[in-house]
Structure 1
């Protein structure tokens, strides 16, 4: 899954402090499969680091260095 396949309903998001939360996020995530948890983690990573499919390539070239010298 990539970020471009996901849309967020901003009206459904409620930002609160950890002290104000009701219920248990832990119980929700433990009810999900391992694959669903990893998929959600990957989505968060892509959002956080600004994933851009157009830049989905190496940005630097590798240089082979001869390590046989001293």
Structure 2
């Protein structure tokens, strides 16, 4: 399976770590609201590819057909 080249440039900073309560407000919403819609979609696509993988052969919609019988 080939990887998306954009995923090769993304690295996790393992030195940045914080612990907080689930009740604390996050600045994540403000971060994404400051981005353009195209940047938000790109972020969602990168997360999708990291979670489900990227295979250019299966990236297309699957075709199917159905035979209908005439009565």
Which bin holds the TM-score, normalised by the shorter protein?
Answer: 0.5 to 0.7
2:37 aligned with 1:34: yes
The TM-score normalised by the length of structure 2 is 0.59
Number of aligned residue pairs: 66
2:66 aligned with 1:64: yes
RCO comparison, higher one (Cα < 8 Å, 6+): 2
Structure 2 CA distance for partners of 1:61 and 1:30, relative to 1, 3 Å: closer
Question: Match for 2:54 among 48, 51, 54?
Answer: 51
Structure 2 CA distance for partners of 1:23 and 1:56, relative to 1, 3 Å: closer
Bigger share in helix:
1
Distance (whole Å) between structure 2 residues aligned to residue 18 and residue 65 of structure 1: 57
Distance (whole Å) between structure 2 residues aligned to residue 3 and residue 22 of structure 1: 33
Structure 1 residues without counterparts, runs of 5 or longer: none
Shift of 1:52: 1.7
